[in-house]
Amino acid sequence: MNLKPNKAVFLDRDGVINEGVIRGGKPYPPQTVAEFKLLPGVSEAVMALKKAGYKIIVTTNQPDVSQGKQKMEVIEAMHGLLKKWLPLDAIKVCFHVDSDNCECRKPKAGMIFEASKEFNIDLKKSFMIGDRWRDVEAGQTAGCTCFFLEYDYKEKKPAQPYIKVQSLLEAGQKIISGTF
């Protein structure tokens, strides 16, 4: 039996789905569940993408856990809220730091490849939406079309090609309408 491959939208978490915390021009994840808030338009965008037939998969680096700066229970509580608020198919998390040289930490595409196998996803018909160069590079490596939320962080910018957008809602509208 040959099942038709799925298409997916891969989403970074902090700065794409929920509000990030900006310090010194660089983004950081919220530290408490109380600080964990969806960005405007996220629920609408995810619902529309899901209705359009996309698998919705979060791929997030969360190295603060392995560095002892964040408790696993807090991350699990945040992800519990995401699953309650949004129709997500999966949340893939990398807890490593760069020096661990794992395959899952973005900018590597391990989380995307893992989800692709798990959900029979055609990566060429899929999208990555992120707010950092790491997200875009992971999506590019996997063969996805990438959207970049430009917040002018004080860090390197992603390499082209990508489509610049102001929000997940804008990216979702472009994906659904095919105007990218």
pLDDT tens digits for range 31-54: 999 999 999 999 999 999 999 999
As a whole number of angstroms, the distance between CA 137 and CA 107 comes to 5
Of 87, 69, 64, 121, which Cα lies nearest the Cα of 17? Answer: 87
Mean of the per-residue pLDDT values of the chain: 97
User: What length does the chain have?
Assistant: 180
Give the 3-state DSSP-derived string for 86-147, with helices as H, strands as E and coil as C. CCCCEEEEECCCHHHCCCCCCCCCHHHHHHHHHHCECHHHCEEEECCHHHHHHHHHHCCEEE
152 is a catalytic site residue: no
Active-site hit among 12, 89, 131, 135: 12
pLDDT tens digits for range 128-172: 999 999 999 999 999 999 999 999 999 999 999 999 999 999 999
As a whole number of angstroms, the distance between CA 144 and CA 32 comes to 32
As a whole number of angstroms, the distance between CA 147 and CA 172 comes to 10
Cα dist from 174 to 111, 128, 144, 166, 169, whole Å: 24, 13, 15, 12, 9
pLDDT tens digits for range 20-30: 999 999 999 99
As a whole number of angstroms, the distance between CA 94 and CA 100 comes to 11
Q: Are 63 and 95 in contact (CB under 8 A)?
A: yes
As a whole number of Å, the end-to-end CA separation of the chain is 34
12 is a catalytic site residue: yes
For the chain, domains (ranges, CATH) are 17-177 (3.40.50.1000)
Active-site hit among 14, 98, 100, 152: 14
In single-letter form, the type of residue at position 159 comes to: A
